[in-house]
Amino acid sequence: MIMAVFVITYYFNGLFRVNIMLTILIVEGNTLQAQELAVAAGSCSQSELYHKTLLALRPDIDCDIVCPADEGAPLPQGAALEKYDGIIWTGSSLNIYQQDPAIYRQIDFMKNCFDQKVKIFGSCWGLQVAVVAAGGTVAANVRGREIGIAREIQPTVSGRFHPLYKNKTAPFDAVAVHLDHVVRLPEGATVLSGNDISRIQALEIRRGRAIFWGVQYHPEFDLDYVATLFRKYRTKMVDEGLCPDEAAVDKLASDFQRAQNITPDDDGAAEIRHHYNMGADILDPCHRLQEISNWLDFIARPESQKINI
């Protein structure tokens, strides 16, 4: 169903409060073929990963998944989009500047979203699609690929006061996998954070009645998931000079998985965490998922309590 549903009413601090079941539309950034390859490699699609992440944050959430990259995929249009409490756009292995119908279809769908009264969150590819759909430009980063951990992300002045970063300690590190980044902002965009690799690591776009929050990194990725991406991109990581050989890529992937799944008696895993300078912003889901949690709070807030930001 695609409407907010009241599921629990309880008494708290002298007031009756209502817990609202949120309905979210998850937009898969990859083609069906790419999703099947991810599953065959022992991983999962990015939309399924996001679904699991949202349920971990809010078990009463209700999600639909659409795949606009594929020709003929059924997509909600117009008022049907406004019946969702929020729309989340996943990452993708695509590059927005390629000449590919799978990309054009996603840009068109984002434009359709921008024409409605909707609230959207995008990770990496989702941010890039939003920027291009709104009239900005995305290109390959001359500094190269940012993969594994994006370091020292610092909120801007606007970002420090933006609800995206409520309760977020700064500067912070984040899991990231991207070659491309924003090089020209569209109208209605506000930069919320950046680092030495990409000056735009998060932004907000206001267009018509739509509000988009996007991050260039991947709060939804844990170290296990990014380890599968190391192996997927092992040849590129060697070719781009990120690792000396494929054995080094496999070692990196194994280290990240070991750091994620540390046991109390695994002193070696603790040393790995120290070696890669992995802090709570990477290892603790409460810290890593703060931006998504803040967005869920934003879309769940009754309209009468919303503030202009």
Tell me the pLDDT band of 87, cut-offs 50, 70 and 90.
Answer: very high
Architecture of domain 5-220+289-305 in CATH? 3-Layer(aba) Sandwich (3.40)
Q: Nearest 5 degrees, angle CA 24-CA 26-CA 32?
A: 155
| Strands 15-21 and 5-12, sheet pairing | antiparallel
The 3-class secondary structure across the chain, one letter per residue, is CCCCEEEEEEEECCEEEEEEECEEEEECCCCHHHHHHHHHCCCCCHHHHHHHHHHHHCCCCEEEEECCCCCCCCCCCCHHHHCCCEEEECCCCCCCCCCCHHHHHHHHHHHHHHCCCCEEEEECHHHHHHHHHCCCEEEECCCCCEEEEEEEEEECHHHHCCHHHCCCCCCEEEEEEECEEEEECCCCEEEEEECCCCCCCEEEEEECCEEEEEECCCCCCCHHHHHHHHHHCHHHHHHCCCCCCHHHHHHHHHHHHHHHCCCCCCHHHHHHHHHCCCCHHHHCHHHHCHHHHHHHHHHHCCHHHCCCC
Q: What value does the mean pLDDT of the chain take?
A: 90
Residue 218 annotated as catalytic: yes
* Position 133 confidence tier, pLDDT thresholds 50, 70, 90: very high
Distance CA 126, CA 292 (A): 13
- Set 204, 218, 287, 291: catalytic member: 218
Residue 292 is predicted with a pLDDT of: 98
Query: What is the C-alpha to C-alpha distance for residues 257 and 224, in angstroms, rounded to an integer?
Result: 5
pLDDT in tens, 40-79: 888 899 999 999 999 999 999 999 999 999 999 999 998 8
CA 20 to chain centre: 23
Q: What is the predicted pLDDT for the residue at 303? A: 59
Domain ranges of the chain: 5-220+289-305, 224-275
**What pLDDT, on a 0 to 100 scale, did the predictor assign at position 302?**
63
Residue 63 among the catalytic residues: no
Lowest-confidence pick of 11-20, 101-110, 237-246, 292-301: 11-20
Name residues whose C-beta falls within 8 Å of residue 152's C-beta, 6 or more positions apart in sequence: 171, 173, 195, 196
> Residue 18's pLDDT band (boundaries 50, 70, 90)?
very low
Q: Which listed residue (67, 124, 162, 204) is catalytic?
A: 124
Bridging pattern class, strands 86-89 and 23-27: parallel
Least confident of 34-43, 127-136, 140-149: 34-43
- Tokens standing for residue 59: 């078990």
246 has catalytic annotation: no
The pTM (predicted TM-score) of the whole model is 0.90
Say which of 220, 243, 287, 291 is annotated catalytic: 220
pLDDT tens digits, one per residue of 228-266: 999 989 999 999 999 999 999 999 999 999 999 887 777
12, pLDDT greater than 80: no
pLDDT digits (tens, 9 = 90+) for 156-201: 999 999 999 999 999 999 999 999 999 999 999 999 999 999 999 9
Give residue 19's pLDDT: 53
Task: Supply φ then ψ for residue 208, to 5 degrees.
Answer: 60, -125
Euclidean distance between CA atoms 35 and 299, whole angstroms:
28
Q: What percent of the chain has pLDDT over 70?
A: 91
